[in-house]
Amino acid sequence: MNEEKTWIIERFDELESTQDYAKSKRDLGENRIVLARRQTKGKGTKGRSFESDMGGIYLSKLTFYTDFLAKKAFQIMASAATSVCVTLRRFGLKPTIKWPNDVFVNGKKICGILIENTLSGEKIRASVVGIGLNVNNGFSPALNEIAVNMQTAAGKSFSVEDVEACLLEELCVERSMEEYLSFVGYMGEKALLIFGDERIPGRLLSVDDSGGLWVEINGKSRRLTAAEVSFRIGKIGKDGF
Ligand code: BTN
């Protein structure tokens, strides 16, 4: 059951990072959504930077919980990615989730999600869910190969305000694992599994109800968590498989 929460919404023309700003407000103990029209030091996963030019949506949602078990943390990832997918679908696009929570359209990344939780014992006290959604924003040439925005994917531009309003609404909806799984793609495909510095070819099998990724490596199936592994979809003849 979703507890009724009140939200402080803060909007900026420019911030270094909505994520860092939201985290800097954690001590206040208030639920908060921070939005910026552009970021100058956007943060991605694994310490990467995140391009954040004008025309995209950059938001961080700081939520406090009273009774949320850390072992259910995957629900936060699943919920955020599902809400982004439902938003994109409402604007006529066909999104796919690349486990655990990257959102792709036409084989290119359209949205990145960064989740940072604060634990208190076995419970999550607060989460900061950062979402960067490419709407009409441009990218550097290097990113053009792997990223897409809604404008290019749909062949028309969108009102960032309309997309943002829809996303904020969808982020308030409670999501089931079933709905998340309905957007998960790439199962059955060959992939390069990345364990830190180690890369192992395998095949993606399925994602289970608790968010574990089942893969086949050397003929054996194995369950992996998002903390252990990421993957790249392989092309035959590339990456050694
Ligand atoms: C990733 O795909 O690597 C995750 C990217 C997350 C980017 C968002 S944009 C809003 C929020 N502020 C940040 O600095 N990062 C997240």
56 CB less than 6 Å from ligand 1? no
Residue range 90-99, pLDDT digits in tens = 999 999 999 9
60 CB less than 6 Å from ligand 1? yes
Helix (H) / strand (E) containing 162:
helix 160-170
CA-CA distance, 122 to 36, in Å (whole number)? 33
Output the pTM of the full model. 0.94
Whole-number Å distance, alpha carbon 54 to ligand 1 midpoint, is 14
Q: Which atom of ligand 1 is nearest to the CA of 18?
A: 12
Measuring CA to CA, which residue among 85, 20, 45 is closest to residue 194?
Answer: 45
37 CB less than 6 Å from ligand 1? no
Residue range 132-154, pLDDT digits in tens = 999 999 999 989 889 999 999 99
3-state secondary structure 80-142: HHHHHHHHHHHCCCCCEEECCCEEEECCEEEEEEEEEEEEECCEEEEEEEEEEECCCCCCCHH
Judged by phi (left if over 0) then psi (alpha if -120 to 50, else beta), residue 56 lies in beta
pLDDT of residue 74: 95
Contacts of 29 (CB under 8 A, 6+ apart): 64
| pLDDT lower than 70: segments of the chain | 1-3, 234-241
pLDDT of residue 4: 79
18 CB less than 6 Å from ligand 1? yes
